[in-house]
Amino acid sequence: MTAPETPASAPEPFGTRLRRAMDERGPLCVGIDPHASLLSAWGLDDDIAGLERFTRTVVETLAGSVAVFKPQSAFFERFGSRGIAVLEKAVAELRAAGALVVMDAKRGDIGSTMAAYAETFLHKDAPLFSDALTVSPYLGYGSLKPAVELARENGAGLFVLALTSNPEGAEVQHALREDGRTVAATVLGHLADENAGQEPLGSFGAVVGATLGDLSSYDLGINGPLLAPGIGAQGATPADLPAVFGPAVRNVVPSVSRGVLRYGPDAAGLRGAAERFADEIRAAVEAA
């Protein structure tokens, strides 16, 4: 299957913008995860004022230098409509500063409900319009069609859960189908089809944990980005990336949350941590 050609009048695809952002700013995604313990570590209360202060500090300090940000929607949603308002403002300000936003919402449903989720995050006129969205394919990859179509139409992308680092994921992702392929390999195959012929990088990526060790039994060459959580607090290091991702390592988008955020609220500490991770990741990728 060959992915549709992009019309000349269409928005610039997410994959093209992502490749450029990582080349210019460094291959790093900073997660924005304002959970209660992190707010407390920053000396903030676990309330809307603390959420606003935390988010504003991260955006003002890093938006102009980091390539990609991944806000975890749940940590904003728990504050209700006021939390969503903070998230909307952060998304708009990050994108205005030239950063790309991957909304970590892990949505997955069927039919009109999946279409509504897609419109929430992938329609260019939506308040939460993001450059990409994390989605779950475990109602069947075909259930993602509304999100795939709207992302393509608006120059956005998807990161589809494929090989996640949580131990519970293996019972589904490593399960064998009748054709002998694992469920994860099937998801990766669909993504390779979506990205066929796209240059310099397709817009439909996979979530693949950086803590998983040798993945040489899987074909990660999907011509799309590989969002890789697990660097930093979860135990993986930039030096691990070539061994985990092999020939696909240049397309990895390593995601670091606590490894950077624990240095806040000091702006210099946040900037220094982000710069160190970006430099170490770049060095590991170039040495591979």
Contact 85, 76 (CB under 8 A): no
Contact 68, 278 (CB under 8 A): no
Contact 277, 233 (CB under 8 A): no
Structure tokens at 34: 């304002």
- Residue 234's alpha-carbon distances to 10, 238, 258, in angstroms, are 39, 12, 9
Contact 253, 68 (CB under 8 A): yes
- Neighbouring CB atoms inside 10 A of 67's CB total 23
Catalytic option among 70, 106, 124, 145 = 106
Active site residue 106: yes
Contact 59, 93 (CB under 8 A): yes
The catalytic residues are 106
